[in-house]
Amino acid sequence: MRLLWEKWVHVFMDLGDSRSRPVQLQGQGQEDGVKPRKATRIQIRNQERILDGALSVFAKTGFRGATVDELAKAAGMTKPNLLYYFKSKKTLYVAVLEFVLERWLEPLEQLDPDGDPAEQILNYMRAKLSMSKERPEDSRLFANEILNGAPLLGAVLQGHLKELVEQKAIVIRHWCDTGQLNRVDPYHLIFFLWATTQHYADFEVQVTALLGQDARDKTYDDAADTLETILMQGLLPRK
């Protein structure tokens, strides 16, 4: 799975003063006089490989569970070489988190205040479910981080995410107030959508243990149908 790390390649490398260490890549952090040099092709290629491998390693075992050796192997290089590109395990971890975060938040940003409420919410549910299916590692990466107290994501939760959710909560509340939706707490509706969709990525082993390995497509289709039914009609038949 080739990713699009390219546009995200910045400040990952140690810069400091060192003579042999390259580079400050384009993007940020040019406060001091060091003139940023352009990233070489090799740098871009290797950082991509590293980030790519690191996502699956970190998603599998969390930050503490991952070893630098594993990370290097996943990137197909030696440990010192990996540490040439990312000065520490933590730096790498943060870089991966940062990258994945954007994708993670995107669907919620798409929620359109002017659209039809039911349609908007179903779309959001489907988009999140599709992310669980196509990029389960993203979801597991965050699940690990949050489950263990979000030591490095805490700031984001309090900042960007909080704003975004507040904003969308207002939209949902409006839909309730105008009678377009039943009266529910907007925040809990959002949690509800997160929980039900991410469950399929985060608890995939459990899901497949109960439903069988082979029926992955069917699993996600059935999940979408069930969620749609519940969201639109609830469990009780309308007489």
Partner DNA sequence: GTCTTGTTTGACCATTTGGTCAGAAATTCC
Partner DNA sequence: GGAATTTCTGACCAAATGGTCAAACAAGAC
Interacting residues with DNA between 178 and 237 (CB under 7 A): none
Amino acid at 153: L
90 binds DNA (CB under 7 A): yes
Among 152, 161, 173, 216, binds its own copies (CB under 8 A): 161
Which of DNA, its own copies, none does residue 83 bind to, with CB < 5 to 8 Å depending on kind?
A: DNA
Handedness of CA 112, 115, 117, 118 (dihedral sign): negative
Least separation in angstroms between residue 145's CB and DNA is 16
Q: Which residue in the set 53, 54, 58, 89 belongs to the binding site for DNA (CB under 7 A)?
A: 89
Place of tokens 């075992």: 61
DSSP for 10-71, please give it.
-S-S--SS-SSS----TTS---SSPPPPPPPHHHHHHHHHHHHHHHHHHHHHHHHH--HHHH
Please, which residue, 11 or 122, has the CB nearer to its own copies? 122
Q: How many CB atoms lie within 10 A of CB 73?
A: 15
Interface stretch with its own copies, choices 15-23, 32-40, 48-56, 146-154 (CB under 8 A): 146-154
Q: For residue 206, state whether it binds its own copies (rule: CB under 8 A).
A: yes
